Structure 1
Amino acid sequence: MLNTSNNNTRKMIVINGGHFSSLDGFYDEASKVFMKDTDWKVGTLDGFDDILYGGFGVFENNEKIEILWKNSQKSQEDLGLKTTQKFYQNKIIQGKPFNIELIQQKLNDLNEGKGQTLFQILVEIIESHKNIILELD
C-alpha cells in the first residue's frame, strides 16, 4: 500500500512577524501560539527550544507540525545584526551567570560577519527538530 501521508496531516502553527519587532515580542508571540491555555511563558532561546519538543502546549511530543512564519522578512530585519549585537552586549554587561568570554566571542564573530543573528538562531532551533517543517513567508 502506498503511503500517502503529506503535509495535510501536520498541525499548522503560525508565527506572525507582524505581531512583534523584538526578541521579547517574539517570545510573547511564541507563548501565545505554542502555549495557549497554559501559564508557562517563553522567555529564553533555550525555553523556545524546549517547547518545540511538544507535550505541554498545543502539540504532543514528536507530533509532526508545520510552522508558517508570516512576515519573516520583517522578523529577519527586526532580529538582525543590530538587535543581536545589543542582545550580546546586554549579556556581557549583566555578567554572571553568562559565560562572558563565549558571548564576547559570539559578538566578535557577529561583528566580523561570521556569526548568526537572532533570527538565524531561531530558524536553526526550529530546524533542529526533525518533526517540524518551517516555512518562511
Structure 2
Amino acid sequence: MDLNTSNNNTRKMIVINGGHFSSLAGFYEEASDVLMKDTDWKVGTLDGFDDILYGGFGVFENKEEIEIIWKESKKSEEDLGFKTTQEFYENKIRQGKPFNRELIQQKLDDLMAGKGQTLFDILIEIIQSHSNITLILN
C-alpha cells in the first residue's frame, strides 16, 4: 500500500496496485486497504466503492483533491473483463432478491452482444464520476 503526497502538495496520491488482486473481491480488499486505512469499514459492493470516493471517512476528506494511480491497470482490465463480468451478472441473477433480475439480465445481454460494460469499465466510470479525483492508469 502506498499513500504519498504528490509533488505539488495539493493532491493526495493513492495507489491501487492491480498486481495485488485478480478478482472483484480482491479489488474491494485493495480499495479497502488503500482508501479505508485504519477504519473498520470494508468495501464490498460497487455502490460501497462509489460511497468511499466521496471521502470524509477514510484517508481523504470530503471533496479533497486526490490522484488515484492504478498500477498494472492492463492486468486489472483483463482480470475484471468479460468473463468475470459475465459470472458477476449470472451470480446475481441466480441469487434473485434483492437484485432486479430483469435489469441485470439486460446488462448481461448487452455484455454478450458486445455493447455492455465490464466490471473494469464500471469501476473506471465510478472513479471518473468524482470531479475531485484524477485517475491515472499505469
SS at match of 1:104: helix
SS at match of 1:28: helix
Q: TM-score, normalising length from structure 2?
A: 0.94
Q: % of aligned pairs identical?
A: 80
Aligned-residue Cα RMSD (Å) equals 1.1
Partner in structure 2 of residue 101 of structure 1: 102
Partner in structure 1 of residue 53 of structure 2: 52
CA displacement 1:102-127 (0-9 Å, x = unmatched): 00000000000010000000000000
Q: Distance in 1 between matches of 2:73 and 2:7?
A: 20
* Runs of 4+ deviating beyond 2 Å: none
Deviation at 1:7, TM superposition (A): 7.2
CA displacement 1:78-129 (0-9 Å, x = unmatched): 0000000000000000000000000000000000001000000000000000
SS at match of 1:84: helix
CA displacement 1:46-102 (0-9 Å, x = unmatched): 000000000000000000000000000000000000000000000000000000000
Q: TM-score, normalising length from structure 1?
A: 0.95
Partner in structure 2 of residue 3 of structure 1: none
Q: Distance in 1 between matches of 2:103 and 2:36?
A: 31
Aligned length: 132
Relative distance call for 1:114 and 1:7 in structure 2 (3 A) is: farther
SS at match of 1:66: strand
Q: Distance in 2 between matches of 1:121 and 1:105?
A: 15
Q: Distance in 1 between matches of 2:39 and 2:134?
A: 24
The gaps in structure 2 that reach 5 residues or longer are 1-5
Relative distance call for 1:64 and 1:94 in structure 2 (3 A) is: same
1:1-137 counterparts in 2 under 5 A? 8=8, 9-137=10-138
> Which protein has the larger Cα radius of gyration, Structure 1 or Structure 2?
1
Relative distance call for 1:104 and 1:13 in structure 2 (3 A) is: same
**Which one-letter code corresponds to 2:135 in the other structure?**
L
